[in-house]
Amino acid sequence: MPLTLVEASKLSNDTLLSGVIETIAQESPVLQRLPFIEIVGNGLTYNRENTSPTAAFYDVGDTWTEDTPTFTQATANLKVMGGDADIDNFLKTTRSNVQDLEAAVVQLKSRAVQTLFDNTFINGNASSNPKSFDGIDRLTIGGQTVSMGTNGATLSLAKLDELVDAIKGGKPDLLLMSRRTRRSLNVLARTSGTFLEADRDEFGQMLQFYDGIPIGINDYISDAQTQGTSTDCSTVYAMQFGDGALSGLTAPGGLTVERVGSLETKDASRVRVKWYASLALFNTVKLAKLTGIRP
């Protein structure tokens, strides 16, 4: 059963690791919700469902026709991400009376890992950078792309509804957009005489909803995309999470914090935050995007 990072951290007795995971998830709406499947080996080859099978009514004596779903075989390879954090022993000894220096340094490194994942989740391109995995922009197929027009246009609720309807088998689990697009959506809601629903998430942060769907902000969705003659466009992504939809992949143990120990060349100790992770889309109708959103 796939688990989110937050749920997985509850099974760990490592206080430092739990703190790292909480830091990572707290500022990432994706990592708060994206489930991760543990795989053995360096990758996963799976069948991605393209079209679903159909059924029909028949008379007695009719010839039954066979109809099966179609699949595309896809492979997602685990990628190595992370970084080292060195803690100077002198500073740790003399300055930790005010703040735990090791915890502070590891926390900053954890945020760097979260930033890298959030960026790659959107813009990852294994063709141009074989060290990374493909993000959702490349995983979205053409039939799951809704456009604001040849040269883009300002956001409309009708187009946003069309994006939501592109996700089959239930509503999306998350709408992911830039801050500019979220502001535009707020203006649209107020203009129509309503407001976006709001509630607090498990971290105590305010979260907005559109038609009951959580709205997430990703700072790596560009507001300077090109569509036709326009160079000021952005994108909104809709997705369902799960082992039959969009899911993360991770090596056994997931995100780890490794104490490398004392260094030979300087008076410091090293902590390594590392993660063997990737992304898999098991069904193409569980991910869609709305392109060409202008300010």
Assess whether 120 and 84 both reside in one domain. yes
Assess whether 28 and 79 both reside in one domain. yes
Assess whether 175 and 289 both reside in one domain. yes
Assess whether 255 and 129 both reside in one domain. yes
Q: Is residue 196 part of a domain?
A: yes
Assess whether 117 and 92 both reside in one domain. yes
Reported as a single tens digit per residue, the pLDDT across 142-186 is 889 999 999 999 999 999 999 999 999 899 999 999 999 999 999
Q: Take residue 152 and report the two structure tokens written for it.
A: 């883009």
Alpha-helix runs per DSSP H in 128-205: 136-139, 157-165, 179-191
Assess whether 179 and 262 both reside in one domain. no
| Type of residue numbered 160 | L
pTM: 0.86
Reported as a single tens digit per residue, the pLDDT across 74-113 is 889 999 999 988 888 888 777 665 557 777 788 888 888 8
Calpha distance 94→138 (Å, rounded): 49
Q: Is residue 60 part of a domain?
A: no
**Residue 278, pLDDT score:** 95
Range of the domain at 75: 5-50+71-134+251-278
Reported as a single tens digit per residue, the pLDDT across 126-142 is 999 999 999 999 999 88
CATH of the domain at 26: 3.30.2400.20
Q: Is residue 201 part of a domain?
A: yes
Asked whether 125 and 265 are in contact (CB, 8 A), the reply is: no
Assess whether 268 and 144 both reside in one domain. no
Q: Between β-strands 268-281 and 256-262, what pairing exists: parallel, antiparallel or unpaired?
A: antiparallel
Report the domain count for the chain: 2
Q: Between β-strands 206-210 and 197-200, what pairing exists: parallel, antiparallel or unpaired?
A: antiparallel
Assess whether 239 and 271 both reside in one domain. no
- Which residue, among 54, 6, 55, 43, has the nearest Cα to 26 in the 3D structure? 6
**Residue 152, pLDDT score:** 95
Count CA atoms closer than 13 A to 253's CA, side-chain side: 10
CATH of the domain at 176: 3.30.1930.10
